[in-house]
């Protein structure tokens, strides 16, 4: 398994030299953030992104993400141009020897939280979600917004897209996802890139918008669209784990045994009510996910790909991008190192 760390490029306050000093750290999870959604990622820009990473003694283990244009999710006639661009981006990433691409198919916005600074008893701050707060929000009135909304949309664009997706059925979204996958997966197979779809976060409808990458049954349906190990999952323990109905340990074992887990986000959440949770520290005792059992299930089932500590708390007066500070994610990485060593030494590695 390849321990990796999210890095947002040269503007990230977390420096590559700091990431490199985390014991066991091998890979970087990153992306190009200045290419408009839907346009081709130039090969020279990809290689320019690689250069400082490799100079720091690390490699790109995952590109997260190559965003899917909303026209594809809506099934508009313009989607074919954007799909062709996506195909070419995959070819360019393969030419630069990028092994894994993470993406999502969440309409309009991806991860959603109601606060970025939920204070825990120890004085640290974390991301939190409360469905009751969401229910009070009227997106079309313009009276409120969620912290994770895509701020690149104008108000009129946001309203237009919201109305389209709000009126879309889950089956229509399934049809649009299937169309996309049937177009890009042959290219992924051709160039040897592993695709990893990220679950919806949280894994239920938000503001009446359809969400379909939410549970084991839907993930089984998703993987059946294209039978290839390159068509796989980003197993996010936090996204799936915030719904108690998801047995995340069983899901890890089930999908890893099929060889369909291509990337893992290891983080913990504390469920505190009906569709209400906050992101705890990575330790099992602080959250609702048994991280040891997840690691054991992955390892026993043969997973040997990239994984990373995901969102962390903001601790020790660190400021910056909420959820993506250095300190708590570094602590998370150390914890995951310990879990992995314990699992392996107790015979948890496949074939031991």
Active site residue 236: yes
**Which residue bears the tokens 């990230």?**
12
Sort strands 194-197 and 270-273 into parallel, antiparallel or unpaired: unpaired
For 15, the domain range is: 2-106+171-267+288-312+320-345
Q: How many residues does the chain have?
A: 352
Active site residue 344: no
92-116: pLDDT as tens digits: 999 999 999 999 999 988 889 999 9
CA dihedral 277, 103, 296, 344 (to 10 degrees): -130
* β-sheet with 276-278: strand ranges across: 115-119, 125-130, 276-278, 270-273
- The residue annotated as part of the active site, out of 69, 82, 201, 236, is 236
Confidence of residue 142 (pLDDT cuts 50, 70, 90): low
In a domain, 144, yes or no: no
Q: Is residue 151 over pLDDT 70?
A: no
- The residue annotated as part of the active site, out of 130, 200, 310, 328, is 310
- For the chain, give percent helix, strand, coil, nearest 5: 40, 15, 45
In a domain, 139, yes or no: no
In a domain, 253, yes or no: yes
Instruction: Please give the C-alpha separations between residue 247 and each of 73, 171, 258, in angstroms, as whole numbers.
Output: 28, 24, 17
Q: Say how far apart CA 37 and CA 86 lie, in whole Å.
A: 10
In a domain, 77, yes or no: yes
Helix H or strand E encompassing 270: strand 270-273
In a domain, 98, yes or no: yes
164-182: pLDDT as tens digits: 999 999 999 999 999 999 9
350 compared with 173, residue with greater pLDDT? 173
- The residue annotated as part of the active site, out of 69, 265, 282, 328, is 265
278-296: pLDDT as tens digits: 999 999 999 999 999 999 9
- The residue annotated as part of the active site, out of 130, 231, 311, 335, is 311
In a domain, 152, yes or no: no
141 HSE (CA, 13 A, CB side): 5
Backbone angles phi, psi at 146, to 5 degrees: -100, 150
In a domain, 206, yes or no: yes
In a domain, 192, yes or no: yes
**Which residue bears the tokens 């229509």?**
172
16 compared with 142, residue with greater pLDDT? 16
The count of structural domains within the chain is 1
Instruction: Please give the C-alpha separations between residue 276 and each of 154, 200, 322, in angstroms, as whole numbers.
Output: 29, 15, 19
Q: Which two tokens stand for residue 232?
A: 């796989």
Please, what is the average pLDDT of the chain?
93
Active site residue 130: no
CA-nearest of 119, 126, 285, 112 to 200 is: 112
- The residue annotated as part of the active site, out of 69, 130, 198, 234, is 198
Active site residue 324: yes
- The residue annotated as part of the active site, out of 82, 162, 324, 335, is 324
User: For residues 232 and 220, is the Cβ–Cβ distance under 8 A?
Assistant: no
Q: What is the domain-level CATH number for residue 81? A: 3.20.20.150
């Amino acid at each position: 398994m390849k321990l990796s760390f999210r890095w947002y490029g040269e503007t990230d306050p977390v420096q590559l030299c700091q990431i490199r000093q985390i014991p066991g750290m091998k890979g970087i999870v990153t992306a190009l953030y200045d290419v408009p959604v839907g346009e081709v990622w130039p090969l020279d820009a990809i290689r320019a992104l690689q250069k400082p990473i490799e100079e720091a003694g690390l490699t790109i283990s995952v590109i997260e993400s190559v965003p899917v244009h909303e026209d594809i999710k809506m099934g508009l006639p313009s989607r074919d141009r954007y799909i062709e661009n996506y195909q070419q981006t995959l070819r360019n990433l393969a030419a630069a020897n990028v092994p894994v691409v993470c993406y999502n198919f969440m309409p309009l916005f991806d991860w959603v939280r109601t606060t970025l600074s939920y204070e825990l008893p120890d004085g640290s701050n974390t991301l939190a979600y409360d469905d009751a707060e969401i229910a009070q929000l009227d997106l079309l009135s313009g009276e409120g917004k969620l912290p994770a909304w895509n701020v690149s949309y104008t108000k009129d664009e946001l309203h237009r897209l919201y109305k389209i997706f709000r009126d879309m059925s889950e089956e229509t979204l399934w049809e649009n996802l299937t169309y996309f996958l049937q177009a890009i997966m042959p290219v992924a197979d051709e160039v040897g890139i592993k695709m990893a779809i990220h679950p919806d976060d949280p894994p239920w409808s938000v503001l009446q918008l359809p969400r379909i990458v939410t549970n084991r049954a839907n993930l089984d349906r998703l993987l059946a669209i294209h039978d290839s190990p390159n068509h796989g999952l980003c197993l996010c323990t936090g996204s799936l784990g915030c719904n108690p109905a998801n047995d995340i340990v069983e899901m890890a074992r089930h999908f890893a045994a099929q060889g369909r887990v291509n990337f893992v986000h290891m983080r913990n959440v504390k469920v505190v009510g009906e569709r209400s949770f906050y992101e705890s520290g990575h330790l099992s005792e602080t959250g609702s996910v048994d991280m040891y059992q997840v690691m054991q299930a992955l390892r026993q089932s043969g997973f040997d790909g990239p994984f990373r500590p995901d969102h962390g708390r903001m601790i020790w007066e660190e400021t910056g991008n909420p959820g993506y500070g250095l300190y708590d994610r570094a602590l998370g990485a150390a914890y995951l190192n310990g879990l992995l060593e314990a699992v392996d030494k107790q015979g948890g590695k496949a074939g031991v």
